[in-house]
Structure 1
C-alpha cells in the first residue's frame, strides 16, 4: 500500500487519527504481524485475552470481536472494507496462538466467531489458576532479596490475578470501597513477606496506621528504609576494615618491639659469665646473682612437680639445681622481656627473632640447654 493509499485511508505513518473509522488500515498492518507478546498456549487464556483486547482497542478494531461492528450486506458500501479488516483481525489472532495450539484451531471466517470459540475452549481452567495464584501469593517472601525484586514478583502475581478476578465495573460508591479493600490486601501481603529482621519495626509502624497507606506509599517507605540500612551497613564494613588494618599494624609494631628489646640476645650470645661460666650472658645479668624471675620459678615448679621453691633474690640452694642452672643462660634478669609463655610460644618467639635477624640464628646454650627447647 503506497503513500497515496495510506492518505486515502486517513493514515499518517502508523499513528491513528482521531477521525479514523474501524475500517481504517495502516500501511504497516499485515495479517501475520504479532500485535501482542503474549502467546496463547492453552493455559493462559485470560492473560492472553486481556493483552489482545488492549491491542485491538488501540487499533480501533475491538468491535470486530465483540460484535459491535456487524457484518454489512454483500451489496453494501462497507462490505469490502469490512471483509478486509475482518481478515486482518483473524490473522492477528491466529498469529498470537502457539503453533501447538493453532493446529487444533479450525479456520473461522469471522473474527467474532473465532474469538468466542477460543474463549469457550480455553477459559475453563480459571478456577484452578486462581487457586494457584493465591497459593503463590501466600508463599511469596523476600528471603534476602532486594525489595525491588521481591515487589516485582508480587506485582506479577497481582496483575495476573486481576485478569482472572477483575474489579466490578460500576459507577457507585461501592467501587471505591472494593478497590480500597483490594489495595489494603496487597499492603498486608507485601508487609508480611518482608524480612522481619530488617523491617520488623517499620512493618509494625505501618500496620498501626489508620487508615492504612496505599501500596505505593508503603513501598516508598520500605525502599527508603532499605537505603538507610544499606548505608549503615556500608559504614560498618568500612569501620571493620579500618579496625582490621589498625590491629595488623599494632601486631607488626609489637613484633618489631620484641625484636628490638631482645637485641641483647644477638649482641651477648658470645658473652661468658664470670660467675657461672656459662655463655650467653654477663655476670651482671646472671640470674644466680640477681635472682630468678617469679614466672620462671612457677613454671619450673609445674614442670618438675613442685620441686624448687626459690623466688627472686631470696633463691635458696635448692633453686640451683640443674633446671635453674640451665635457666641462668638467659640474657637478662628482667622478666618483662620474657612473659610466661608456653613451650610452643617460646619456640615461635625464637623462630620469629631468627627470621627478623636474617642470617644470624639463635644458637648456643640459650636454645640448647633451656627447658623450653626440650
Structure 2
C-alpha cells in the first residue's frame, strides 16, 4: 500500500490527522527549527544530505523529499484536511531546508516549488558522484598527519571523520558468514596502522614502536588511550620542568637579597639581575628567552652546554 493509499484510508475517518501520519505536525514544529547542525555551503553536499535525511526521518518527514507523499487532489471541500495538512508540511519542510543552507545560496535555489522538487534540484546541482569524493577522501587519509601543536584528540577526530565518510560510500554489504569477523578485524588493524603512522615521530616515536611490536596488534581504542596517556604525561612533565627552572632562576638571581621572588617590590625588580632585550622580562637573557626561541630549543641548548 502506498503512502497515498494510506492517506486516503485515513481521510474516511474523523477529520483529524493521526500522529503516525507523515502529514502530522507536532506542536513543537516551527519554521525556525534546524534538522541538523551542518550547514550546506555548496561543497559538503553528501555529508549534509545524509544529516538532513536522518533529521527528517526522525520526524517522519523523509517521505516528503523522497516524493512519496503527493499533494492530495482538491475534492471541492474548502476545509479538505489532507490538502491543508500537506500544504502546511510542504511549507514547513521548505523552511527547514532554508535554515540549513548558507544564505549566500538562497537566491540560486527555487524554494517556491514542492519540497521534493527542491531536494531533487539540490541533488542534481551539487552531488558530484561517489568516485571523485572517495578518491579525495583516500588522498586526505594518506596525507593525514598530526600537525605541529595539534593534540591527539584533534588529530584522531580528523582521522575518524574521514573513516566515517568513507564508510558511507562502502558498497560491501554486511556479511553474516564466518569470514565477517576476519574482515572486521582486518579493517580495524588498518585503522590502527593509519593512526600510528600519522603521529608526530619526535613526540610519540617510542610508544608507536612499542605498540607495533605487540602480537597481535592492539585495538584502535587501546592505541588511542595509550597515546593520549603519553600526551598527558608529557604535558605534565613540561609544566614541572618550567616551574623548576623558574624557581632555580629566581633563587640564583634573587636569593642573595634575602627574600623570594614574590617579595620583590616594583622599585627594585631586576636590580642586579639580567634583563631580556626581547621580552623585557628579568632573570634571563635573550639567548635563553622562551618567548623568542621556544622552550624545547632553550632546554636543548642547556643540555648541550652540559
Q: Same fold (TM over 0.5)?
A: yes
Matches of 2:254 and 2:104, distance apart in 1: 69
Counterpart for residue 91 of structure 1 = 95
> Please, which of 63, 66, 80 is the counterpart of residue 84 of structure 2?
80
Q: Which whole-Å deviations, capped at 9, do the CAs of 1:247-267 have from their partners, x for residues lacking one?
A: 658999xxxxxxxxxxxxxxx
Q: Which whole-Å deviations, capped at 9, do the CAs of 1:19-62 have from their partners, x for residues lacking one?
A: 64322212342345433232323221101101111210221111
Whether 1:209 aligns to 2:214 is yes
* Larger RCO, structures 1/2 (Cα 8 Å, 6+ apart): 2
Counterpart for residue 230 of structure 1 = 235
Q: 1:234 to 1:43 in 2, by over 3 A?
A: closer
Counterpart for residue 137 of structure 2 = 133
TM score, norm. by length of structure 1: 0.53
Q: Is the 8 A contact 2:56 2:62 kept in 1?
A: yes
Which 5+ residue runs of structure 1 have no aligned equivalent? 1-7, 11-18, 253-374
Matches of 1:111 and 1:52, distance apart in 2: 13
Q: Is the 8 A contact 2:156 2:195 kept in 1?
A: yes
Q: Is the 8 A contact 1:31 1:91 kept in 2?
A: yes
Residue 88 of structure 1 and its aligned partner are, at CA, apart by 1.9
Counterpart for residue 36 of structure 2 = 36
Matches of 1:220 and 1:24, distance apart in 2: 46
Matches of 1:227 and 1:214, distance apart in 2: 20
Q: Residue 223 of structure 1: SS of its match in structure 2?
A: helix
Larger radius of gyration: 1
Q: Is the 8 A contact 2:94 2:111 kept in 1?
A: no
TM score, norm. by length of structure 2: 0.62
Counterpart for residue 114 of structure 1 = 118
Matches of 1:244 and 1:88, distance apart in 2: 67
Q: Is the 8 A contact 1:73 1:79 kept in 2?
A: yes
Q: Is the 8 A contact 1:144 1:195 kept in 2?
A: no
Q: Which whole-Å deviations, capped at 9, do the CAs of 1:215-247 have from their partners, x for residues lacking one?
A: 222211111122222333344444445555566
Aligned positions of 1:1-374 closer than 5 A: 20-31=20-31, 33-69=33-69, 71-75=71-75, 78-107=82-111, 109-124=113-128, 126-142=130-146, 143-163=148-168, 165-166=169-170, 168-170=172-174, 172-173=176-177, 179-241=184-246, 243-244=248-249
Q: Which whole-Å deviations, capped at 9, do the CAs of 1:90-143 have from their partners, x for residues lacking one?
A: 332234333443323334643333322321221125444433333333333223
Q: 1:233 to 1:182 in 2, by over 3 A?
A: same
Residue 181 of structure 1 and its aligned partner are, at CA, apart by 4.1
Q: Which whole-Å deviations, capped at 9, do the CAs of 1:149-169 have from their partners, x for residues lacking one?
A: 222333333344445x24645
Matches of 2:44 and 2:68, distance apart in 1: 26
Residue 80 of structure 1 and its aligned partner are, at CA, apart by 3.3
Q: Is the 8 A contact 2:41 2:101 kept in 1?
A: yes
**Number of aligned residue pairs:** 237
Q: Residue 42 of structure 1: SS of its match in structure 2?
A: coil
Residue 72 of structure 1 and its aligned partner are, at CA, apart by 4.5
Matches of 1:98 and 1:9, distance apart in 2: 33
Q: 1:246 to 1:42 in 2, by over 3 A?
A: closer
Q: 1:202 to 1:87 in 2, by over 3 A?
A: same
Which 5+ residue runs of structure 2 have no aligned equivalent? 1-15, 258-306
Q: Residue 21 of structure 1: SS of its match in structure 2?
A: coil
Q: Residue 50 of structure 2: SS of its match in structure 1?
A: helix
Q: Is the 8 A contact 1:168 1:175 kept in 2?
A: no
Matches of 1:155 and 1:92, distance apart in 2: 28
Q: Residue 61 of structure 2: SS of its match in structure 1?
A: coil
Q: Residue 78 of structure 1: SS of its match in structure 2?
A: helix
